[in-house]
Chain A
Amino acid sequence: ETGVTQSPTHLIKTRGQQVTLRCSSQSGHNTVSWYQQALGQGPQFIFQYYREEENGRGNFPPRFSGLQFPNYSSELNVNALELDDSALYLCAGAKADLGYTFGSGTRLTVV
């Protein structure tokens, strides 16, 4: 149990559809970051939320959006899915400078 739970664990969607991925973080994780990890690659930063506001964004198009809620949960939404969006999506909670705690990820396959 890492303190960060992601759902669903696996998901298959069709190109053009929309998807919402969820992350539940333990109390005190006031920062949440989302990463995309393609097969054989390191995680690529999508965006970060701090106290429910976007606090930084990587090189991802606007169809990637997110929300953070007061109960430390968050969502990643992706519109108009493309085949290249197939990847492991990781959510990470952080408290101060104590390092990131990652969830096990959601494996998204776009067909």
Chain B
Amino acid sequence: GAVVSQHPSWVICKSGTSVKIECRSLDFQATTMFWYRQFPKQSLMLMATSNEGSKATYEQGVEKDKFLINHASLTLSTLTVTSAHPEDSSFYICSARGLAVISTDTQYFGPGTRLTVL
């Protein structure tokens, strides 16, 4: 089946620093990748959608200058949280959609990255 990995799985950083999270599709080409954020005991909220080779589309209320997304290849998208603050602490989950085995419309979720900003 289609596998999506994320790295790192967890990260702790100091306030004001930047953190990069990678999302990779391991066995298929992901034409579209989605970045979600999940606060404790809440649902997943879409942050942005990225397509390979083009600028990401951000959801309303998500600061594009703070959450930088790069989808440089069909197997890799990165989310950089710039100047992180404690309120950015959350569980970040990516999903990938593309020319998968089962369906071109199915999204495959990564294992998530837990970010803690001190």
A and B found bound together: no
Interface residues of B (CB under 8 A from A): none
